[in-house]
Structure 1
């Protein structure tokens, strides 16, 4: 049997793409194959994003905040000013995906993806059990060695561990989130905490780093414990844990797309290189996939190109790759000298060129100028 569409991996990018293809009628009378060994029935990650007013995903939100603060030792700044910061737990999204797609001809096989190849008329996908043939492949299986084995584009990692806790006493304000708390010791890196309260006693506490190397498991948890103690929270229950590692690089993943194979998610360059933000970027890119199918002929080599934001991200990663300790200074300078809404707009790649310059001028100039000349002659 030849499938119309094959998806290798069923992460956020694949689910969003399938949902939007279904909503636009692209999956009508089509045979779809999803290759994903996991059941996708547990809450193993959390996605957060900001937007104005009501949005497409509001029905599956865990919580939202109308105040979210940037913090260092000397300032506390509300970043939202009319926006909302929203959180979705992965289990809710998995269930939403299953409900939306239940009436379509989608076959889900729990096999381990191995490789793929393309010929003139089709794509052949190999798993550990057998081979499958399709007209188009959407690949989200990430090979980290592809990044580590190249030297042209600097590579950082956004790595984190989060605890969802329940305290004995009322410790949190569920109307306010800590978006980035840089008051924690930096230890030569870029380190901060997220605090996302969903009630007066419950919150997600997440320790996050932008750095070249990951930490030992005990170090993340030790920092979270110390942070909670400084909050005066000594008695609590850990409801669940999550961890992750997101590559931060301007490496042009999309150049690996072929006529019939589209790399999506992290392996497609859908993650924002300078911040690691995934949800909004994936929402935007999956919408482009649907629009792409309105073209007369499909050639995924034309799906994505570099733009000026790609270059900005390249500069940012290059600076932190060389001087990782500057992260706190860079973010503090941005949020204290510019309107925080402008910073969020810039991170969403919705600013004009004039607004870009306003943000860029708020950054420490010396290191970015040096990076500019390094990168244009790379």
Structure 2
């Protein structure tokens, strides 16, 4: 199985290769039949399947771990492959190229940790962007579902890394990129995907070319929906505490926030990498929030240092073994008590020994 035609560029810095597909000249459509179909059918994007493979290298973005500057949309340029064929091929050939995720008409599969860069567009783009591939599909419904999945996933990644939608096609600056836009504005490869695939597939099934401009409109739609406050804020009672707790293995099911979710209009999801998460690691709790809905939240910090400004809110389900932080007095008393017990033990032993010798 041949995934796509790979154009290898010089292995410069961390810009190992350029992968997949064709250039991007984005022409905006006043109306998109593909987008209209997605909206009229109320197509729901697929959920992300996490299938992280630890064999991929872990190199930081140019500004550090978990600090991408945008998202690159690719297409495999292989009409006969499946999403699982593509993933298997990439694992075998990651030294040449790899991306973070794959998308088709029914799945979004994340195979590489997006906190670290991938090798998909060459230098300098690799050190800047999260990247994912679209597998070619072959029906009207499948293409509409794939576009929906890809646009939603792009919006999800922007939201996850606190980036705002900005179409890079017009000035070579922004957060939403085709591989073609990267090649044109930053170099690193000669590919133009997914423009050709969008154009021909849109015309085949909808009678109209699909464009990156139309795709960007779907990204904005999903991004805005993610950031609209649909629910009324609830009240919360805040209490200052001095506790410690361990990070639960369930933490990946929840999120980290800068404020209590649902109780503060400025609450926004944060990346777990901000607190260097590790199951069983001890974090310190300086405040609790009891929401009127009944749930409890904790404000955590990495150390007991009271001057540290690194503090985030988490749902109580993220933590276990919550208890008071031992004070200096308590610790000293416990130590003294232990020493006293040891002395008593030694004394009793001596008496007993003496008695036996008689």
The TM-score with structure 1 as length reference comes to 0.22
Could you say which structure has the larger radius of gyration? 2
Higher strand share: 1
Superposition TM-score, scaled by structure 2 size = 0.23
